[in-house]
Amino acid sequence: MKNTFFKLALISLSFLSATSCSSDKTTEEEEEVIVTPPPVVETDPLTTTNVATYMVDKNATPETAALFYNLKKLAKTKFAIGQQDAFNSFYQDTGGDSDIKKNTGYDPAVLGSDFMFITDKNNNNQSDNWFYQQEQKITSDVKAAYAKGIINTFSWHIREPNKEDSFYTDDMTADEKATAFKSILPGGTNHEWYKKKLDKVASVVLNLKGSKGELIPIIFRPFHEFDGSWFWWGANFSTPDEYKKAYQFTVDYLKNTKGVHNILYAFSPDNSYTTEVSYLSRYPGDTYVDIIGMDNYGDFNNQGQNGADKANAKMKIISDLAKTKVKIAAMTETGYSVTSSTAPIENWFSTYLYSALTANDIEVSYVLFWNNNMDGYYVPNAAAPNANDFKTFATKSKSALVNSLPKMYELPK
């Protein structure tokens, strides 16, 4: 019995010990389980059905709404590459394909144009008039670009309202500089003059039509580089409130009074700002802006990677704002001018500019270079010494010429 009792006791203890160890192990395993929350899926607020709600013009044409949508989506993976007057400004030759195409084999993805000659006081709409001939050339280029799937954007170097000879403040008297911008506001002495200029803009834009009679969408950026003092609409010659009123009037007049519904509106200061607050100091409001941009030459002027990093930090501000506001971010102008006395900067395109447009996960829809001429260039043709640098830039994974654009004027099915 005694031996039997001890055997039973040992069996019982062994069972209890085994049970205890198993229980402890289970508890430890339960304690080690880390509960991982499901990943946060960021949903894009912009859809093909609600695109108009984020646009300035709720009655925009279907092609214009598609351009807004596709520019916004494009920025997630690529930026479109373009040039001002690409079809008419050439380095060291007289014509043919754009210098971008001469270099890369493909047309630019963006064509920049200007209302300057179109609204010039000397444009009398007669076929033998040089300014009217420029108007015809510009509108013809816009139509040709649209037919190829290229994005069209317009700046406006509008002449000051007094003598209408220049848009630069260096050519104006102190009194003209102090009063010119204020005079075009509602109630100002030159307000009716300004409305007539807008009438001309509206007339031209409403006559930009594709092969099926559809209106061609354009991007319009009035009063650009307003934070500088070189243009008569610059910050030294208007208050923030006056600037906003002029911008808002421009949009309202074209959209509501003239019935123009094929414009995306761009807001584009120069590169003076370093904070979101300073960037938005003259912002006319989300209901007046489709594209949040920046012109930036200064940060790329022989400043190397440090300059590129400064430009990227500023573009990061724009990109973040565009994400928050569901707008489109863009480098609305940039470049480095190469002339007979100014040599190109090694790897300017493929290293410095590319990093400025892509680092820190920013989303930029397009970049526009300024125009070339016989004596100098912003974009090298195939014979220029830095041709390979641009070609490398244009073939990088986030770069897009017209051959790698989606159908910009159609909403995806």
Nearest one of 369, 317, 358 to 78, comparing CA atoms: 358
Q: How many alpha carbons fall within 13 Å on the CB side of residue 47? A: 4
- C-alpha 362/C-alpha 294 separation (Å) is 14
- Please answer whether residues 293 and 314 qualify as being in contact, where contact means their C-beta atoms are separated by less than 8 angstroms: no
DSSP string across 56-92: S-TT--HHHHHHHHHHHHHTTT-EEEEEETTTT--SS
Q: What is the DSSP letter of 237?
A: G
User: Could you give the angle at which helices 174-183 and 240-252 cross, rounded to 10 degrees?
Assistant: 50
Tell the residue number behind the tokens 């609204």, with chain if given. Answer: 119
The residues annotated with a catalytic role in the active site are 225, 333
Measured from the Cβ of residue 94, the count of other Cβ atoms closer than 10 Å reads 6
Instruction: Provide the token pair at 225.
Output: 């580089």
Rg of the chain, C-alpha, whole Å: 29
* CB 199 within 8 Å of CB 177: no
Q: Contact at 8 Å (CB) between 342 and 301?
A: no
